[in-house]
Amino acid sequence: MRARAVHAVAIWLALFAGVCLGQAGAAERLSQTSSPAVSDLQAQVKATAAKIIPAVVNIATTMLVRDQAFSDEGLPFGLFPESAPRRQVGQGSGVVVSADGYIITNNHVIADAVAVEVLLADRRQFKGRVVATDPKTDVAVVKIQATGLPTVPWGDSTELTVGDFVLAIGNPMGLNQTVTFGIVSAVGRADVGVADYEDFIQVDAPINPGNSGGALVNVKGELVGINTAIASTTGGSEGVGFAIPINMARAAMQSLLKTGRVVRGFLGASTQDVTPLLGKLFKLPDVKGAIITDLMAKGSAEKAGLKRGDVVVRFDGKDVLDAGRLRNWIAGAPIGSRHRLDVIRDGKPAQVELAVQEAPRERARRAAAPKAATPGHPLGGLMVDEITPAVAGQLGLTSTGGVVVAGVEEGSLAEVAGLMTGDVILEINRHPVTSLPLFQRLVEPIKNKELTLLLVNRQGTFMYVPIEGE
């Protein structure tokens, strides 16, 4: 029995090498030496590719961008005079999910596009119309005026497990219809820095530039993910690719088309992951869970009786591995649904029942410091913004901690102290600033005439900036 198992493993590895690495003659050698099961799988892969390729499209976008004209006038970050806009083109992929022309893709493929062109596998070309976007999950929907289109059937991404074979089909580097083959390396990946809500499928099937928005399918030809990103130090594929689970993408698409926005559940609390040291301090049996760090007044968590310092370890009997997993489960739960949360409170187990509320409508992220209208307030006239992964990349930051200065009113005390647009505020009076709401809470008690100390990161240089109110 053991010899038979070893022989089977050798066959699977040989098939994987032949399909993924493209070694010359590998398929022919396999056909001569492999078992019927291997031949059946190879036939299935070929049939799946042939079935899915017609429903994967190329999306070409045109954007208008402005280059900043740098000068010697010493203007601060973000205030350089802009040049005339120029046209810039982009490439991506999409998946036809309805015969009447609805296509699902990534938001980042069509973001800021002023024109969208869709090229079908049969070389027909259509003008595309962006009908809905959800940057928080990096999902977008494009519509073309066509009927009778080939489609990809929906799959169930919750059934994916590590080791499952998958095909990634898209349009990398302008090459029409490219197929790569591999396995699922992990599920539930978060903290990738692509979107606000991340529950990625990690695959080793190469996802090359231009493959974003393409189809990730299982060997049965069912759509299980939307290819999104690669982790790479060179810009090319290095065997670590990510796809949005199709259950998340489909739910976002359906909500967008029905209501024009994505309706999500909301915990009403801030959370953080458990580290080994925190696990020891909170007397946890395992290094997993989501620690409640703050509660929103009248939010789901507060109404359920959760408290700051509680560690949520199970959600409806499922282990909560980290804060991102809990957030995703609640975001996908129906509004009003009730769920059992197992928590560790002061080292002892407890249970609460949580009724899911709808997440607040999207609001502008930029905010003025409290009391900004008061001339004598140390931070009066200061505008700050939260640091998203995109902003962090633009500023060359390694984390999204702190808040970025989005504007400084001329003549304000903040300007006199030397604060500039683009500065990142990391501390207020020696208290760390980790988010925009925390910044506002730390500023609120500061009074006029009070001396305030900021820790600022200015293009990689850290400095303390004292500001004295009047």
In tens, the pLDDT along 274-322 reads 989 888 888 898 899 999 988 888 889 999 999 988 999 999 999 998 8
- If asked whether residues 99 and 202 sit together in one domain, one would say yes
CATH number at residue 447: 2.30.42.10
Where is 37: in which H helix or E strand?
helix 36-52
- The mean pLDDT of 420-437, rounded to a whole number, is 87
Q: What is the pLDDT of residue 105?
A: 93
% of the chain beyond a pLDDT of 70: 77
Residues 116, 33, single domain; the answer is no
pLDDT above 50 for 10 = no
Pick from 244, 262, 280: which residue ends a domain?
A: 262
- Residues 90, 227, single domain; the answer is yes
Does residue 233 share a domain with residue 106?
A: yes
Whole-angstrom distance, CA of residue 305 vs CA of residue 310: 10
pLDDT at 112: 77
Same domain membership, residue 59 and residue 183: yes
Span 121-144, average pLDDT? 88
Please check whether residues 94 and 238 belong to one and the same domain. Answer: yes
Specify the DSSP element, H or E, that contains 48: helix 36-52
- Catalytic-labelled residue, pool 34, 157, 212, 237: 212
In a domain, 28, yes or no: yes
> Is residue 374 predicted with pLDDT exceeding 90?
no
Residue 77 in any domain: the answer is no
The answer, yes or no, to whether residue 380 has pLDDT greater than 60, is: yes
Residue 359 — very low, low, confident or very high, per pLDDT cuts 50/70/90? confident
Average pLDDT on 444-453 reads 84
169 and 248 assigned to the same domain: yes
The reply to whether 289 and 385 lie within a common domain is no
At 373 the pLDDT is 37
Using the 3D structure, point to which of 224, 245, 262 is the last residue of a domain. 262
Task: Provide the mean pLDDT of the chain.
Answer: 78
Return the CATH number at 169. Answer: 2.40.10.120
Whether 41 maps to a domain, the answer reads: yes
Q: For residue 396, name the pLDDT band (cuts at 50, 70, 90).
A: confident
Q: Which is the catalytic residue, given 93, 108, 237, 412?
A: 108
The residue to which tokens 């990634």 are assigned: 168
Most confident of 7-21, 217-231, 395-409: 217-231
| DSSP conformational letter for 418 | T
Q: How confident is the model at residue 7 (pLDDT cuts 50, 70, 90)?
A: very low
Residue 339 designated active-site: no
Asked whether residue 78 is assigned to any structural domain, the reply reads no
Residue-wise pLDDT for 156-211, tens only, equals: 988 888 988 998 888 765 556 788 888 888 887 766 655 666 678 888 877 776 77
Whole-number pLDDT of residue 138: 87
Q: Is 204 a catalytic residue?
A: no
132 shares its domain with 163: yes
Whether residue 312 sits in one domain with residue 197 = no
Q: Is 134 inside any structural domain?
A: yes
pLDDT-based confidence at residue 152 (cuts at 50, 70, 90):
very high
**Mean pLDDT, rounded, for 114-119:** 86
Catalytic status, residue 212: yes
Reported as a pLDDT band with limits 50, 70 and 90, residue 47 is confident
The H or E element containing residue 290 is: strand 290-295
The pLDDT assigned to 16 comes to 41
Would you say residue 99 lies in a domain?
A: yes
Residue 250 counted as domain residue: yes
CB neighbour list of residue 153: distance below 8 Å, 6 or more residues apart: 221, 222, 223
Taking the C-alpha atoms of 107, 109, 113 and 116 in order, what is their torsion angle to the nearest 10 degrees?
Answer: -110
Read off the pLDDT band of 243 (50, 70, 90): confident
**pLDDT of 447:** 84
Whether residue 301 contacts residue 270, with contact meaning beta carbons closer than 8 Å, is answered with no
pLDDT for position 352:
94
Q: Which of 96, 89, 61 is nearest to 170 (CA)?
A: 96
The more confidently predicted of residues 229 and 389 is: 389
How many residues are recorded in the chain? 470
Which domain-ending residue is among 214, 231, 262? 262
Residue 73's pLDDT is 46
Contact (CB, 8 A) for 436 and 386: yes
pLDDT the model gives residue 405: 86
**For residue 62, is it within any domain?**
yes
Run of H or E including 29: helix 26-33
The count of domains in the chain is 4
Best CA proximity match to 136, nearest among 315, 227, 263:
263
Looking at per-residue pLDDT, the higher value among 271 and 469 belongs to: 271
Residue-wise pLDDT for 63-107, tens only, equals 766 555 444 444 444 444 545 556 778 888 999 999 999 999 998
pTM over 0.75: no
User: Distance between CA atoms of 305 and 268, rounded to whole angstroms?
Assistant: 12
Q: Quick one: pLDDT band at residue 451, thresholds 50, 70, 90?
A: confident
Quick one: 312 and 324 in the same domain? yes
> What is the extent of the structural domain holding 393?
367-468
Domain identity same for 106 and 239: yes
User: What is the radius of gyration, based on Cα positions, of the chain?
Assistant: 26
Output the DSSP codes for 345-402: ETTEEEEEEEEPEEPPPP--S-EEPTTTTSTTSTTTTEEEEE--HHHHHHHT-SS--S
Nearest to 289 by CA among 246, 345, 335: 345
Nearby residues of 91 by Cβ (< 8 Å), 6 or more positions away: 58, 59, 60, 61, 171, 173, 174, 209, 210
Exactly one of 93, 134, 138, 310 is catalytic; which is it?
138
